[in-house]
Chain A
């Protein structure tokens, strides 16, 4: 058990190191550097040299990488070129906002997906399953910017329940942001729940047909108890890693959904940073996304590991 744990954590660390290296050198490979991009075509050689000296760009790449990675580890994310402020400050608030959005999505989406998936799986091909699965397949096939737009159309334009676009600033109090998160979260839940519930449904159906469920029935175990004690524990275990993967995968969705709703989160900041060609900021956000991805998966892995006896206890 301990070795498996260490192994997973070690692998996650290695992945993160690779991400750091790739992110740094991928931008390094692009033509020009932060200064030439920032100062534009008209910049004179002396202005460029001064800027490069200020940012340390005249040093060899490997040396700069060491310095940059070192700063990064100590929490110094560098300075945003366009915004001329510490990246940590720019990113920090947005990260909070995105976490609020993601938290709301997960808190509602995951239980909803599990419940619906189990319901659908227990009565496969019944009217309930048909409805749930039909909507889920629709949600999975429609791209986020369309489902987001549809949400705005339905809830804000037609029904007038919520504002379609978020107007508050990125430093707004958490509670206001939570309110503003409702529609974007609904869009994300729509997609997230669809993916998870399809998996849960398939897994419930599979377990229902397993030998040990038939055996439980032959043992005289009542239906309710079969579902609670034999089907659910085994059907939901594989869902944990799927939830982890889907949450991590949702990062891509966050970028689009935040843009659609003008939500002041990390995703929209990423889009803005790319548009502004703010290279240090792009680097920092890419790193953050990479780390969140790895850590979410690691978390799901560890959780699955502790809950699943087959993984927890290796056969002697």
Chain B
């Protein structure tokens, strides 16, 4: 790396409110063409840090110390009016969620032209031309059409491209990226990353990229910092940090990423990050650290150089053994099937005059089986029909052809098309876990009541034993009995999803259906949930279908994988085999576009 004049210089930055710190003593610099990645889970302070680089504080937060300088001039403590000429022209943000960050009632072209109007001397005609240039630069097909579109008329990937075009309109020197590819399909994600990488190589723009996904940072950045509870606890050249993580947290983080090249569920990080109001006095990772010793509890360790440019804030850096990613997988005995899906087709009914149009996603003659204790992964992009298959099995979407057979405890029965037509025993047998536990758990019920419903309905558990049984279920998903009296809102996203899992298992099902259940979770929490599902399925001999758009996630949990494309299964095989030697071109493309961290 050639040392260059820093464009953006952050020194000892502290951001917080009364009695708490969100960002603590963060320092780094960005020079021309440099790209710095900040990795951290939600709540680590990375988004607050990013906003403060533009001189923006969320309500209730303020600058408590340190400085941010852009080309020598301060960004903090300035009024919005004073910063207006810098924002968007010298430093620009690519937002995390363009669907909410773009004005819903103005056309894409108008919004990009607004940046030009403010930050360039172009006349209206030239502005219109430049908008089209920018849109084609971010590879939006048909720029003239796209410019006339409103945000809700574009897909997630197209919106993110439009947001990038908007950020580039002011020709910024520093580009801030907030989780630039979160929530997109793998193939879209890969295409967008290519675009950003290309951009980085062609221009001299400096980048700060924040993400919870080390895979994204690995492709975009040359240096990364790992944030934990507001502070950067490890920083250095990308290759060095990923290959030889020195801080126990970084090690755990690297280990918790699902990879295509490893077998079995990734290792979860135990415990949860500390509350901002109650930070440990010493090392903030101490409560979760296996290597903690008395010296760690005095005061937070400083970032100190461990190797070339590689700094670590840990008293016992590198003392931990190299992370063990592989968990041993018990050989899967070929159990009998619990579910057989034969020639299943699902189409949507024609709509009448007053019916709303439903985006039709069609499943065409799909067949597969699921064995007891087996996890079958269904992977595909949105619209590939993977969720529709789940809904059909759950009885929420009626098949237009084919049949679904359930084989459990000696019975073999064809499932009724509609859940409403199914007898109680069939309803009990098939349990669905949704992507978003917030939507599936009644916010007004305590966890005890949530778990009690299936116990009473399907398990005929007498009232006197409800509490005990519910606590037992929670124990299986590693939640303490104290959780019973909580409301869903008092739990974290990961905890809520565990409650949803416990509720599904409360019915003692034969088959559980998981619909993108880890999409909304942080990587470390995700790893724990994956492990949980897999263990529970094995332990209770329950078949599981795990739907996800993320092949790496599916790979880490599934015994077999079915790849879906346009409503048909293009390939189904043993998980290991499929990832190592994909046969169909589509599966090859899917695997090629997964972001794996260079080991």
Show the binding face of A for B, using Cβ within 8 Å. 3, 7, 10-11, 210-212, 214-223, 229-230, 233-234, 237, 308-310, 313-316
Contacts and interface: CB of A to CB of B under 8 A. Distances in A.
Contacts of B106: 229-230, 233
24 contacts: A7-B353, A211-B101, A215-B93, A215-B102, A217-B80, A217-B87, A218-B88, A219-B114, A219-B118, A220-B86, A220-B89, A221-B114, A223-B81, A229-B103, A230-B106, A233-B106, A234-B103, A309-B105, A309-B152, A310-B104, A310-B152, A313-B152, A314-B357, A316-B153
B103 A230 contact: yes
A238 to B, nearest CB: 11
B81 A222 contact: yes
Interface of B: 51, 54, 56, 80-81, 83-89, 92-93, 95, 97, 100-107, 114-115, 118-119, 150, 152-153, 166, 170, 353-354, 357
Contacts of A11: 354
Contacts of A315: 152-153
Contact of B54 (A218, A221, A234, A316): A218
Given A217-B87, A220-B88, A222-B84, 15 more contacts: A10-B353, A211-B100, A212-B102, A215-B102, A218-B88, A219-B118, A220-B87, A220-B118, A220-B119, A222-B118, A233-B105, A233-B106, A234-B105, A309-B107, A314-B357
A224 to B, nearest CB: 10
A220 B92 CA distance: 9
A228 B123 CA distance: 21
A310 B103 CA distance: 11
A229 B106 CA distance: 9
Contacts of A214: 56, 101
A217 B357 CA distance: 36
Nearest to A310: B152
Of the listed residues B54, B85, B87, B170, the one surrounded by the most CB atoms of chain A closer than 10 A to its CB is: B87
Contacts of A222: 81, 84, 118
Nearest to A237: B105
Contacts of B97: 211
B134 to A, nearest CB: 14
A226 B105 CA distance: 13
Contacts of B93: 215, 218
A237 B89 CA distance: 31
Nearest to A314: B357
B84 A212 contact: no
A214 B102 CA distance: 10
A219 B100 contact: no
Contacts of A230: 103, 106
Nearest to B85: A220
A234 B106 CA distance: 9
A283 B492 CA distance: 59
B88 A219 contact: yes
A234 B102 CA distance: 12
Given A215-B93, A308-B105, A313 B100 contact: no
A211 B95 contact: yes
A315 B83 CA distance: 36
A202 to B, nearest CB: 17
A218 B83 CA distance: 9
Contact of A7 (B92, B102, B150, B354): B354
B101 A215 contact: yes
Contacts of A218: 51, 54, 56, 87-88, 92-93
Of the listed residues B85, B95, B107, B170, the one surrounded by the most CB atoms of chain A closer than 10 A to its CB is: B95
Of the listed residues B84, B85, B87, the one surrounded by the most CB atoms of chain A closer than 10 A to its CB is: B84
Contacts of B92: 218-219
A259 B92 CA distance: 62
Contacts of A316: 153
B170 A220 contact: yes
B2 to A, nearest CB: 30
Nearest to A211: B100
Contacts of A229: 103, 106, 114
Nearest to B103: A212
A271 B87 CA distance: 63
Contacts of B118: 219-222
A32 B357 CA distance: 50
Given A7-B354, A218-B87, A310-B152, A223 B80 contact: yes
Nearest to A233: B105
A310 B151 CA distance: 9
A220 B81 CA distance: 8
B38 to A, nearest CB: 18
Contacts of B152: 309-310, 313, 315
A220 B153 contact: no
Nearest to A232: B105
Contacts of B89: 220
A124 B81 CA distance: 20
Contacts of B54: 218
A219 B103 contact: no
Contacts of B104: 212, 234, 309-310
Of the listed residues A219, A230, A233, A316, the one surrounded by the most CB atoms of chain B closer than 10 A to its CB is: A219
Nearest to B84: A220
A3 B118 CA distance: 40
A10 B357 CA distance: 17
A315 B149 CA distance: 10
A233 B170 CA distance: 24
A163 B485 CA distance: 65
Contacts of A223: 80-81
Contacts of B101: 211-212, 214-215
Contacts of A210: 100
Contacts of A212: 100-104
B190 to A, nearest CB: 24
A134 B144 CA distance: 49
Nearest to B89: A220
A11 B354 CA distance: 9
A223 B87 CA distance: 13
